Structure 1
């Protein structure tokens, strides 16, 4: 039986993105194991993997714990695990794992695949942070059998900086979106009415949704500022913004909404199981991020025929290039407010945008991505 080990920094990455891949390869007769920090607390992972392992590493590339504990742990796990394939996700875990195997002869170690979910160096990144992450990627590139990128900008960056030889580089359109689950036909009118009632919305009251981790790079503050400008400049004072997600800045965002006088218009929802219904209940989704790889939130919205207001950055630009939404500059909150206004005032055109989005997602169908990985 062939054996594969999935590696990531934190266990939540598996539940967010990789469970369909684990299920697929197990059905194909593989033993599929997973390792990350906090793995023992990931109850949602247990049914999808044959074995799970806790690792002592963090998301900080300069944390000495990664080298003191994580390096030894991952080397022992891989060397003694008898794996045919290691599939790594997230940059720090990818660097540590490849560094750990550097001294193992090629004929004694498994093949290494590293999927990049958006390089951590990018056009708007801090120069020092960009230097650190680019240096890490260039250093570990020669220890990689295949490097998979999920957007065209990262493909170009890989070639420009010669991170791996061209023969070791693969492009895949994301990690897939389940079009059968993320379908307008699967969301009932009753469910939409229930969500709107939960949020206290009256009939016809416009709802915008932002689905993102509460992280500085997601720029929730820009969505709040845009809502303020929508109130003051555009005259749409009844619009509501629902924020779904978890993260370290959730209380800070709550405080910002309060300071801006938006308590009645901003709904901080936390983690949600009913994301498709929430999206379908909205006029449009909003994602003002400054860094993305190929954002799942945008893909889900387009699959559900709901237009997107996003920033002109890597990944988002690629998904919206065929008129599936509106792009703004990062931090341009008046432009975001103007886009929100347009979505409210042009419902028929917005609906057509959403329909284009569904068509665009055909290439990103999870079934297609699983087939490409199998090959």
Structure 2
């Protein structure tokens, strides 16, 4: 039996993105285990994996737990269970796990795959920070059998900086979206009505939806300030998510005088219904890998507005949505007003996005991972003998 360990920093990453891979490879006869932080308040759905292991590491790179006990715990687990492949996601887990497994990998006892959900070095970041993160990625690249990147900018950067040998870089279209769940036909009118009623919207009101954790890089503040530029009382903003800037963003809405038009919904399980009822989805963040919320909007037939950054650009380029410069609240307000008052161009965006999103179907990504793993585990070709 082939054995796979999927490692992430926090359990929420498993829950939100990787459960279909546990299901898929277990159905293929693999043993699939998972590893993540025990301190994460979002428990993983452990029924999707054969075993779940808690490891004491944190999201902050300088968290002392990351190099106190975590490397030894990872190394001992992998040596004991004899995994064929360890697939790591998220920066901290990826670096610590690859550091821990460098000896086992060198002894050819395990293959290590790293999916970069957006490098921490990127265009527009400071040169000092970019230089540091490039150096760390190149160091960890020595302990990596395959590097998977999910947008064109990261693929070009991995090649340019030689993070790993060129032949060991794979470009995949994200980690997949469930097109059966994110489908307008899968959501009833009653579900949409319930979400609107919760926000106490009138039949004439329309809302733009932002799905993102409240952290500085997502730039919720830009969405609030853009709404404040529009004197249209029927246009609202709905925020789905939690995070450290939740209360601060609420306070900003009050200062901008739009608190009655901003709806802070918290963590949600009815995202498809919220998307179906929305006039548009927005993501003004300054850095992305390949944003899941934009993919979900495309799948749901909801017009999408995003900041012109890697990942978001990959999805919305080619007339699949509206791109605005990062931090340009005037351009963002114009995009908001356009979806409210001029639906015809949005219909063309939706049509193109609906075709494009088929390339990101979870079934296609599962097959791509299966091919990736098969290539890693296939016997290396015997060296050619020289003719005498």
> Which TM-score applies when normalising by structure 2?
0.93
* Residue aligning to 2:190: 190
Superposed, which structure 2 residues align to 1:42-81 within 5 Å?
43-81=43-81
How far did 1:57 drift? 1.0
C-alpha separation in 2, matches of 1:315 and 1:64: 31
* Residue aligning to 1:149: 149
C-alpha separation in 2, matches of 1:367 and 1:9: 25
How far did 1:349 drift? 2.4
* Residue aligning to 1:277: 273
**CA 1:228–1:141 in 2, change beyond 3 Å: closer, same or farther?**
same
Report how many residues are paired.
Answer: 371
1:103 lines up with 2:103 in the alignment: yes
- Structure 2 unaligned runs (5+)? 372-388
Measured against aligned partners, the alpha-carbon deviations of 1:201-249 in whole angstroms (never above 9, x if no partner) come to 1113121000001111000000000000112xxxx23211000011121
How far did 1:80 drift? 1.5
Of 64-73 and 17-26, more deviation after overlay is shown by 64-73
**CA 1:105–1:238 in 2, change beyond 3 Å: closer, same or farther?**
closer
How far did 1:370 drift? 0.5
Of 184-193 and 363-372, more deviation after overlay is shown by 184-193
**CA 1:40–1:60 in 2, change beyond 3 Å: closer, same or farther?**
closer
C-alpha separation in 2, matches of 1:29 and 1:39: 31
How far did 1:95 drift? 1.0
Of 197-206 and 215-224, more deviation after overlay is shown by 197-206
Superposed, which structure 2 residues align to 1:356-371 within 5 Å?
356-371=352-367
Q: Secondary structure at the match of 1:104?
A: helix
* Residue aligning to 1:20: 20
* Residue aligning to 1:162: 162
C-alpha separation in 2, matches of 1:262 and 1:98: 47
Query: Is the 2:204–2:234 contact (alpha carbons within 8 Å) kept by the matching residues of 1?
Result: no
Measured against aligned partners, the alpha-carbon deviations of 1:44-79 in whole angstroms (never above 9, x if no partner) come to 421111111111111222233211121111111112
* Residue aligning to 2:381: none
* Residue aligning to 2:341: 345
Measured against aligned partners, the alpha-carbon deviations of 1:174-195 in whole angstroms (never above 9, x if no partner) come to 1001111111111222222222
C-alpha separation in 2, matches of 1:268 and 1:64: 34
Measured against aligned partners, the alpha-carbon deviations of 1:249-279 in whole angstroms (never above 9, x if no partner) come to 1111111112222221100001111101101
* Residue aligning to 2:305: 309
C-alpha separation in 2, matches of 1:351 and 1:105: 51
C-alpha separation in 2, matches of 1:352 and 1:105: 49
**CA 1:41–1:2 in 2, change beyond 3 Å: closer, same or farther?**
farther
How far did 1:39 drift? 6.9
Of 171-180 and 41-50, more deviation after overlay is shown by 41-50
1:249 lines up with 2:254 in the alignment: no
> Which TM-score applies when normalising by structure 1?
0.96
Superposed, which structure 2 residues align to 1:250-269 within 5 Å?
250-269=246-265
C-alpha separation in 2, matches of 1:285 and 1:83: 41
How far did 1:129 drift? 2.9
Q: Secondary structure at the match of 1:264?
A: helix
Of 176-185 and 64-73, more deviation after overlay is shown by 64-73
C-alpha separation in 1, matches of 2:191 and 2:59: 37
**CA 1:42–1:190 in 2, change beyond 3 Å: closer, same or farther?**
closer
Query: Is the 2:223–2:284 contact (alpha carbons within 8 Å) kept by the matching residues of 1?
Result: yes
Superposed, which structure 2 residues align to 1:210-221 within 5 Å?
210-221=210-221
Measured against aligned partners, the alpha-carbon deviations of 1:141-194 in whole angstroms (never above 9, x if no partner) come to 121101111111110000000001111111111100111111111122222222
C-alpha separation in 2, matches of 1:13 and 1:82: 24
How far did 1:120 drift? 1.0
Query: Is the 2:208–2:238 contact (alpha carbons within 8 Å) kept by the matching residues of 1?
Result: yes
Query: Is the 2:210–2:282 contact (alpha carbons within 8 Å) kept by the matching residues of 1?
Result: yes
Superposed, which structure 2 residues align to 1:170-181 within 5 Å?
170-181=170-181
C-alpha separation in 2, matches of 1:41 and 1:344: 37
How far did 1:357 drift? 1.2
**CA 1:318–1:105 in 2, change beyond 3 Å: closer, same or farther?**
closer
**CA 1:111–1:105 in 2, change beyond 3 Å: closer, same or farther?**
closer
Query: Is the 1:306–1:351 contact (alpha carbons within 8 Å) kept by the matching residues of 2?
Result: no
**CA 1:105–1:127 in 2, change beyond 3 Å: closer, same or farther?**
closer
Q: Secondary structure at the match of 1:4?
A: strand
1:238 lines up with 2:234 in the alignment: yes
**CA 1:280–1:373 in 2, change beyond 3 Å: closer, same or farther?**
same
RMSD (CA atoms): 1.4
